[in-house]
Amino acid sequence: MTDTDKTDTRTDQTVRWVVFHAGELTGVLGPLVLAATVTEWFAAVSAAAAILWTAHEVHVARTRRAALGSGRHNPALITRTTTDTATDTPNSTEASA
């Protein structure tokens, strides 16, 4: 069985998400822990990090949706899965643009 034949479990997907978002999670949870143990002023830092993270995720989702709706092919904006390999090569009109 090759790696492309393997289907990801929910655990695999969750671990991948946590590793990918480790920086954001640290930015939110670190100050939150400090707010609980040191002073409540760290809660403002945690809230600011959470707001920025949310704003970024909304921006990425809207950009991805717009890219998919317009038919543009930009791998940085479109999440690929193992079943998307047939659509990874640009067609002749995209290659000449």
Question: What is residue 55's predicted lDDT score, i.e. its pLDDT?
Answer: 94
Residue-wise pLDDT tens digits, 24-83:
889 899 999 999 999 999 999 999 999 999 999 999 999 988 888 766 665 555 555 444
Q: State the average pLDDT over residues 17-30.
A: 90
Question: What is residue 68's predicted lDDT score, i.e. its pLDDT?
Answer: 81
Question: What is residue 71's predicted lDDT score, i.e. its pLDDT?
Answer: 63
DSSP-assigned states of every residue in 29-93 = HHHHHHHHHT-TTHHHHHHHHHHHHHHHHHHHHHHHHHHHHHT---TTTS---GGGGGG-S--HH
Question: What is residue 47's predicted lDDT score, i.e. its pLDDT?
Answer: 94
pLDDT band at 92 (very low <50, low <70, confident <90, very high): very low
For the cut 70, the answer to whether the pLDDT of residue 4 exceeds it is no
